[in-house]
Amino acid sequence: MKFVGIAKKDFKELIRDRRGLFMILIFPLFFMLVFGFAFGGMGQGNQPHNLALVNYDQGATMPLTNEHVNFGNNLTKLLGDSKYENSNVHLFNINKTTETVADSMLKKREADAELIIPKNFSKSVVALIISTIQQQTVTGINTTVTPSNSTSTIIIRGDTGYMGFGVSQGILVGVLAQYQEKLVTQIQNQVKGTPGAQPIKYLQSKVEAIPGTETFTNFDFLAPGMMVFAILLLTTTVAAGLTREVEKGTLARLKLTKMTSFDLLFGGMLPWSLIAAAQVVILLIVAILIGFHWQGGLNTLLLAIIVGVIGGIASISLGMIIAAFARNDRQAANLGTIISVPTSFLVGAFFQLPQVVIAHVYGQPFQIYELLPWTHVLNALRATLTFGGGWNDIAYQVEWAVLLTIILFIIGVLLFSRNRLRAEN
Amino acid sequence: MSDIIMDAQELTKNFGDLTAVNNLNLKINRGEVFGFLGPNGAGKTTAINMMVGLLRPTSGRVLIDGKKVEDVEKGTVGICPQELVLWNFLTCKESLELIGNMYEVPDAELKRRVKQLLNDLFLTEKANIVVDKLSGGMKRRMNLAMALVHEPEIVVLDEPSEGLDPQSRRVLWNYIRRLRDEEGKTVILTTHLMDEADRLSDRIGIIDHGKLLLLDTPENLKKEIGEGDVVDIKLSDPNKNQEAITVLQGVEQVQSVLEVNDRINIRALDAVGKLPRIMEKLETVEVSIADLSVRQNTLEDVFINLTGTGLRE
């Protein structure tokens, strides 16, 4: 049980080093406050996002009615009319323009995102309508229409490093998914003769608020990211702390004793995990105070603490890897910062990342960023704190986070033991 | 049980092109205080680190009680490093308990030892004070206590008097003697202080540039360079030192004349009786004397005799 002795030692050192503790807990808090003030907390109202819209849609002819329709215009109108939930504020300011101008607006940040509707968009929608009708008619209204299997891709373009794009893109994806879903539902209702369904007039659309947008601000998207950023910064502190033990010779003193690598590293991990848990709680309290809309109550807080501790252990493991190579504590701190800050960007702590799917696992796309445990930690924190998800909603992410953290911890223990706990060369 | 507790065999350590320790052969007897004497950078600490298993030798091996150092049970050796190796935010008591815990000392026994050590090293009043708040001398004593809490057979003290005031030094020296005389410990002591090595060591190994130059008891080492005194002269113009040395070498029954740190060191039997002759010789080269003293041979003279230079700082 020597690891208990090491855990007690590290805990006392952490608590008694007021300056160090202040930095560990206050530094991320400072970031939280800055981002909270900058991105939508503090009771700021929802703002419309500037959308540059390029409509290449050439329209199509509806089956049965032979009516000429343009679903591109329909979608444009719908986007323009959409509002935040329980609010009169529109989701988007639409600027209909050409692709060249839209690109230029993106560069000047006059537009948060650019939406390009392709020329065969209406044909695709018509194909969807025909396909839906045919699936619905069991005994068969013998239509003379053949689906064209036409597909089209709506392009959402923007600067992934720009927060405005991150949020606009998230909302746009939701609106487009809802658009297609409602279109299909509407057709199904009309074919079945659901009361209230209007005669064949597929252009009919109803503008509804987008669920979940009522109170959604950039800060709600960012606050869990800030927590992951704080957890990732533990890497720097752990790496510097372990390297200081090497530099000061206290590690050599311990090496002469009967202490094992496991005692040192597992014992050291315990107080740092407590720090990670404390960071989650403190940052959540501060985030709530400055406008974060916490969902789900104490249950989600408990889940978030568990997830935060897993992320903390991953950061400690990364700290061990750095401490295995750093020459002194300053180099360890620099290396820790150089690694942990870009990692926080890579895991999507500050903005949404482009899709880079490298595999499919259990039918779910697995992106390159998901090789990092903190991506799963962030996804789980967002799912539970921002959207109020329970254990079932985060289980997949937690499983991945645990697996990747175990791998990272084993690598950390092996490297640190090999380079630091054997006789020096 | 063999009388030899530690045996370093052909120990060599290279750091790139630098040979820090060169083919060191050394046998340390059970229950003795062994002094490793040499200037800073002589290779003492490197040799010690290899002897306790913290540093891997480039070649050679170390046996403790006949076993390779890497196979020896942890806790056989306690080391008090040259630097202060302490946890600044733990109290004296917590620090000692931590180390005792790591050596698996049973709780009741550990409490007894911690109390005893704090008492012996005059730290009882500071037992619950964090190390960071201790004075330099107290930290030195804590550094020593940390090496002793598990009661090792071999205690290695690397420059233990560094930075100590005379009172603390006396406490330390008495404690080292007690370790040998009352507890039967083997103490290996590295130092560049002649006085310390002379007063404490049963045997002394003189090391410089990584090589062991001489090994014997302090008395035998001093006899090695002969009985007699040393006349230490400082000329008002050190540029004339070489000229003066040349004429002084002509004085009858002078054993050696050397320049050491801009001074002239004349070793001779009955040095006081030879002073008039020395003054006469110096007048022939027209130099005036700024300072002159006569003293008995010391270990430093042994070192000068061996290396031709004084101890470097």
In a domain, B311, yes or no: no
| Residue A280 Cα, gap to closest chain B Cα (Å) | 26
B126 part of a folded domain: yes
Residues B170-189 pLDDT 10s: 888 999 999 999 999 999 99
Which range in A149-153, A419-423, B82-86 is most confidently predicted, on average pLDDT? B82-86
Interatomic CA distance for residues B92 and B94, integer angstroms: 6
pTM, two decimals, is 0.69
Q: At A159, is the pLDDT very low, low, confident or very high (cuts 50, 70, 90)?
A: low
What percentage of chain B carries pLDDT values higher than 70? 96
What is the value of ipTM here, to two decimals? 0.76
Q: Is A369 helix (H, G, I), strand (E, B) or coil?
A: helix
State the pLDDT at residue B272.
Answer: 81
Q: With a cut of 70, say whether residue A210 has pLDDT above it.
A: no
* pLDDT for A200: 39
What fold is seen in the domain A49-192? Answer: abc type-2 transporter like fold (3.40.1710)
pLDDT tens-digit readout, B235-291 = 988 888 999 999 998 888 888 888 888 889 888 877 788 888 888 888 888 888 899
d(CA A168, CA A50): 8
Find, among B18, B29, B62, the residue nearest to B210 by Cα: B18
pLDDT in tens, B1-47: 678 999 999 999 999 989 999 999 999 999 999 999 888 888 998 99
- Reported as a single tens digit per residue, the pLDDT across B154-166 is 999 998 888 788 8
Q: Can you tell me the distance from the alpha carbon of B12 to that of B126, in angstroms, rounded to the nearest whole number?
A: 42
Measured CA to CA, the distance from residue A192 to residue A194 in angstroms comes to 6
Residue A201 has pLDDT above 70, yes or no: no
Quote the percentage of chain B above a pLDDT of 90.
51
| Rounded-to-integer distance, Cα A163 and Cα A170, Å | 11
Residue A143 in this model has a pLDDT that exceeds 60: no
Backbone angles phi, psi at A348, to 5 degrees: 85, 25
Burial B69-96 (b: 16+ CB within 10 A, else e): beebebbbbbbbbbebbbbbbbbbbbbb
**Residue in A closest to B95 by C-alpha:** A9
Using pLDDT thresholds of 50, 70 and 90, give the confidence band for residue B310.
Answer: low
Could you read off the pLDDT of B35-70 as tens digits, one per residue?
A: 998 888 889 989 999 999 989 999 999 999 999 998
Model confidence at A157: pLDDT above 80: yes
Select from B56, B75, B98 the Cβ nearest to the Cβ of A9: B98
The verdict on B48 and B14 lying in the same domain is yes
Return d(Cα A289, Cα B40) in angstroms, integer: 60
Residues of B with CB under 8 A from a CB of A: 49, 52-56, 70, 74-75, 77-79, 81, 83, 85-87, 89-90, 94, 98-99, 101-104, 130, 146, 150
Nearest C-alpha of chain A: how many angstroms from B218?
31
> Cβ-count burial of A293 within 10 angstroms (0-12 exposed, 13-18 middle, 19+ buried)?
middle
Among B205, B222, B239, the domain-final residue is B222
pLDDT class for A12, splitting at 50, 70, 90?
Answer: very high
Q: How far apart (Å, rounded) are the C-alpha atoms in residues B284 and B301?
A: 27
Which residues in chain B have their CB less than 8 angstroms from residue A2's CB? 101-102, 104
Residue B147 shares a structural domain with residue B281: no
Distance of CA A68 to the CA centre of its chain: 41
B56–A425 C-beta distance less than 8 A? yes
The pLDDT tens digits for A292-340 are 878 778 888 999 999 999 999 999 999 999 999 999 999 999 999 999 9
Which of B222, B250, B281 represents a domain boundary (last residue)?
B222
Q: Please indicate whether, in this complex, the C-beta atoms of B90 and A13 are within 8 angstroms of each other.
A: yes
Which tops the pLDDT comparison, A264 or A361? A264
- Chain B residues within 8 A of A241 when measuring between CB atoms: none
Q: What chain A residue is nearest to B59 in terms of C-alpha separation?
A: A425
Query: What does the pLDDT look like over B96-117, one tens digit per residue?
Result: 999 999 999 999 999 999 999 9
Mutation pick from A2, A9, A17, A247 vs chain B, by most beta carbons of B within 10 Å, is A9
For the record, the structure tokens of A270 come out as 């315990």
Q: List all residues 6 or more positions away from A78 whose beta carbon is below 8 Å from its beta carbon.
A: A175, A179, A205, A207
Minimal C-alpha gap between B86 and chain A (Å): 6
Task: Express each pLDDT in A242-298 by its tens digit.
Answer: 999 999 999 989 988 999 888 999 999 999 999 989 988 998 888 888 878 787 788
Residues B48 and B30: beta-carbon distance below 8 Å: no
Residues of B in contact with A424 (CB under 8 A): 49, 54-56
- What is the pLDDT at residue A187? 73
Question: Could you tell me where the beta strands, DSSP code E, fall in chain B?
Answer: 4-15, 18-29, 33-37, 59-64, 67-68, 77-80, 154-158, 186-191, 203-208, 211-216, 229-235, 254-260, 263-268, 289-296
- B16: closest chain A residue by CA: A425
Confidence of residue A10 (pLDDT cuts 50, 70, 90): very high
Query: Which CATH number do you get for residue B184?
Result: 3.40.50.300
Round the average pLDDT of chain A to a whole number and report it. Answer: 82
Confidence grade of residue B145 (pLDDT, cut at 50, 70, 90): very high
Looking at the domain assignment, is residue B308 inside a domain?
no
Distance CA B61, CA B69 (A): 8
Residue A81 pLDDT greater than 80, yes or no = yes
Measured CA to CA, the distance from residue A251 to residue A257 in angstroms comes to 10
Distance of alpha carbon A105 from alpha carbon A115, whole angstroms = 12
- Are the beta carbons of B75 and A254 separated by less than 8 Å? no
Contact A319, A239 (CB under 8 A): yes
> Does pLDDT of B309 surpass 70?
no
Mean pLDDT to the nearest integer, B142-161: 93
Contact between A424 and B55 using a beta-carbon 8 Å cutoff: yes
CB–CB contact B81 A424 (8 Å): no
HSE toward the beta carbon, residue A364, CA cutoff 13 A: 8
Domain boundary among B175, B207, B222: B222
Q: How many domains, chain B? A: 2
Mean pLDDT for the stretch of residues A123-129: 83
B127 and B268: one domain? no
pLDDT of residue B90: 97
Share of chain A above pLDDT 90, in %: 36
Which chain A residues are within 8 Å of B99, Cβ to Cβ?
A: 253, 257
**Most confidently predicted of A23-27, A151-155, A405-409, B135-139:** A405-409
Q: How far is B297 from chain A (nearest CA, A)?
A: 38
Cα torsion at B69, B71, B77, B83 (round to 10°)?
A: 60
* Model confidence band, residue A44 (pLDDT cutoffs 50, 70, 90): low
Which residues have a Cβ under 8 Å from the Cβ of B239 and sit 6 or more positions away? none
Under 8 Å CB pairs connecting chains A and B tally to 69
pLDDT category at A162 given cuts 50, 70, 90 is: low
Decide if B304 is inside a domain: no
Give how far Cα A30 sits from Cα of A15, A339, A361, Å: 20, 20, 38
Per the model's pLDDT, the better-predicted residue between A388 and A201 turns out to be A388
Residues of B in contact with A16 (CB under 8 A): 89, 130
Judging contacts by C-beta atoms under 8 Å, the chain B residues touching residue A12 are 89-90, 94
Tell me: do B200 and B96 sit in the same domain. yes
Min Cα separation B74/chain A (Å)? 6
Which residues of chain B neighbour A257 with C-beta distances below 8 Å? 74-75, 99, 102-103, 150
Mutate to test the interface with A, among B51, B68, B86, B101 (most CBs of A within 10 A): B101
Contacts of A253 in chain B (CB under 8 A): 79, 81, 85, 99, 146
List strand residue ranges (DSSP E) for A72-173, in order.
Answer: 92-96, 113-117, 155-157
The CATH code of the domain that includes B260 is: 3.30.70.980
List C-alpha distances in Å: B167 to B150, B160, B170, B210: 26, 14, 5, 32
Q: What does the longest C-alpha to C-alpha distance in chain A come to?
A: 89
Put simply, the answer to whether B83 touches A248 (Cβ < 8 Å) is yes
Strand partners, B214: B206
* B195 part of a folded domain: yes
Across the interface, which of A12, A249, A258 has its CB nearest the CB of B103? A258
Domain range enclosing B66: 4-222
> Does B96 lie in the same domain as B238?
no
**Residue B230: both structure tokens together:** 């040393």
Q: Which residues of B touch A255 (CB under 8 A)?
A: 54
Does A71 or A197 have the greater pLDDT score? A71
Distance, CA of A352 to CA of B255 (rounded, Å): 86
The DSSP code sequence of B56-113 is: --SEEEEEETTEEGGGSPTTSEEEE-SS----TTSBHHHHHHHHHHHTT--HHHHHHH
pLDDT for A163: 66
Of A250, A256, A425, the CB nearest to B87: A250
Are the C-beta atoms of residues A331 and A243 closer than 8 Å to each other?
A: yes
Question: Distance between CA atoms of A57 and B270, rounded to whole angstroms?
Answer: 117
